Amino acid sequence: MPPSPFAAHRADLAALAAENRRRTLAPRTGIDFASNDYLALAGSDALREALAAGIEQGLPAGSGGSRLLRGNHEEHEALEAHAARHYGSEAALFFPTGFAANAALFATLPQRGDLIVHDALIHASAHDGMKLGRADRMSAPHNDAQAFGDRIAQWRAAGGAGTAWIAVESLYSMDGDRAPLADLAAVADRHDAVLIVDEAHATGVYGPAGRGLAHALAPRDNLITLHTCGKALGCEGALLCGPQIVRDFLINRGRPFIFSTAPSPLMAWLVHQALEIVANEPERAARLHGLVRHAEDRLAKLGLPASGSQILPIVIGDNARTMRIAAALQADGFDIRGIRPPTVAPGTARLRIAITLNVGTSDIDAMTESLAAAMATA
């Protein structure tokens, strides 16, 4: 028998299993402390009614082609025009996922001879986009604005003459902490750099009408923001917002945009309605912030620190113990997942507890009691 062409793949999976890092797909069960559906919009009556209204209007489920062919629909353009107004940018462009938007952005906009300085904890999709691009890239310590400036200054001193790009998240998905956006904007201004802010976990939750944490910086011509639509907005897709030249260049040079089938016009309609719902119902975010404060109080009684956001990481460290605690919580009826390397740094395996409007204070109380018991015995 010839050797299996998948022998190396089997060995890799076996190595992951030996380190308690092998992933499997798990069904959706238990009380939601795992999703990014922060405002409980994904299964809401409001979005179901909006979806029904879109279907009633005859909006197609599929686009039938790329945006540059016949796939461009008036609902795509209506959403983008609304998003630009909503987020205070000159223009916007709709992508099918946040991953696709980051891949297109970083692979296309920074040019050969440019430098991207990115936060050490930035999304994997940004890393993949940078690998596809032509610009040099350099990591900066997490949330250290001074280090970003130092990296650019060192690059300039060594002869760097292109454009510098600063890439960060406004709210980090595994730590729940915020970027020092005002300081980073000042660094961008001093160094004639472009600031790219991934608002994935802040969109809908922070800022006036859910506009995100970077909204306080707008409008400015050296700011690009990414707003994913599959988290607090309860839909799918992502909106890249920034200067008109960014939209135009991505339409002409962004291969992930040019050669992808356009997102569903029905989804574009639904995202548009979700933006309206979030803007018109600020009580959703207010209730979420109240639940976060309640959860932080409960965790404080267990001696566990707060992140200051709806993402509450409980760092355990050991991979196996993390998964044992997660399994105990799941057995008690709480959907809480363990996060292991390489998603997080080695030695920082954790529980990622997400607070959403899918739970109430009694759920949080019961969950923290179960957490305390699981951590004491695992």
Give the three-state DSSP class for 361: helix
Catalytic residue (one of 73, 86, 201, 215): 201
Q: Is 173 a catalytic residue?
A: yes
Cα–Cα distance between 5 and 210 in angstroms, integer?
49
* Paired tokens of 265: 């016009």
Q: Which residues have C-beta within 8 Å of that of residue 220, sequence separation ≥ 6?
A: 185
Q: Is 102 a catalytic residue?
A: no
Catalytic residue (one of 32, 119, 198, 199): 198
Q: Which amino acid, 62? A: G
Catalytic residue (one of 89, 143, 173, 307): 173
Catalytic residue (one of 86, 227, 231, 272): 231
Catalytic residue (one of 36, 125, 264, 319): 36
The distance between the two most distant Cα atoms of the chain, rounded to a whole number of Å, is 66
Q: Which residues have C-beta within 8 Å of that of residue 352, sequence separation ≥ 6?
A: 34, 174, 311, 312, 313, 336, 337, 339
Q: Is 139 a catalytic residue?
A: no
Q: Which amino acid, 315? A: V
CA–CA–CA angle 116, 121, 123 (5° rounding): 75
Q: Is 201 a catalytic residue?
A: yes
* Paired tokens of 208: 């006036």
Catalytic residue (one of 73, 123, 227, 272): 123
How many whole angstroms from its chain centre is CA 71? 26
Instruction: Judge residue 34's burial from the number of C-beta atoms within 10 Å of its C-beta, 0-12 exposed, 13-18 middle, 19 or more buried.
Output: buried
Q: Is 332 a catalytic residue?
A: no
* Paired tokens of 352: 């990622």
Residue 335 · residue 320 · CB < 8 Å = no
Catalytic residue (one of 37, 114, 119, 169): 169
Residue 207 · residue 215 · CB < 8 Å = yes
Catalytic sites, residue numbers: 36, 123, 169, 173, 198, 201, 231
